[in-house]
């Protein structure tokens, strides 16, 4: 398989890795009291939100090539489906024309 076939998986894994790294950094900063965070679920939620806000622009800048590869993969899949649909409708039209010709020939013999 080509590397383009795994573009979505690679992009998603890299995006998740960047988010996880940001979360771990936020967790360490909270542990050393650089970020004031309360204990419990609200503190974890705050750290998750900080990680999401920090990782989004980092992912946007760093993963531009991978995002382009995902876009090419999706565009190629759509183009293949459209071509398959057009070729299928062409085959159906050819089969219908052949069936009509046989039907006309059978009627002409009567």
Q: Which residue stretches of 32-63 are H helix?
A: 41-62
pLDDT digits (tens, 9 = 90+) for 27-83: 999 989 888 887 788 888 999 999 999 999 999 999 989 888 888 888 887 877 877
> Residue 2 above 90 pLDDT?
no
pLDDT number for residue 1: 44
List Cβ neighbours of 69 (8 Å cut-off, separation of 6 or more).
3, 4, 7, 10, 11
Rounded to the nearest angstrom, the gap between the alpha carbon of residue 96 and the centroid of all alpha carbons in its chain is 38
pLDDT (average), residues 4-28: 91
Task: Return the DSSP state at 34.
Answer: S
Top-confidence residue, 19 or 2:
19
């Amino acid at each position: 398989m080509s590397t383009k076939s795994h573009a979505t998986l690679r992009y998603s894994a890299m995006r998740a890795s960047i988010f996880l790294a940001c979360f771990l950094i936020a967790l360490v900063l909270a542990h050393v009291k650089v970020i004031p965070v309360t204990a419990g679920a609200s503190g974890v939620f705050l750290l998750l939100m900080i990680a999401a806000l920090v990782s989004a622009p980092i992912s946007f800048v760093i993963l531009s090539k991978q995002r382009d590869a995902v876009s090419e993969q999706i565009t190629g899949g759509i183009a293949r489906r459209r071509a398959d649909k057009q070729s299928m409708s062409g085959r159906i039209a050819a089969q219908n024309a052949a069936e009509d010709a046989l039907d006309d020939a059978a009627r002409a013999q009567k």
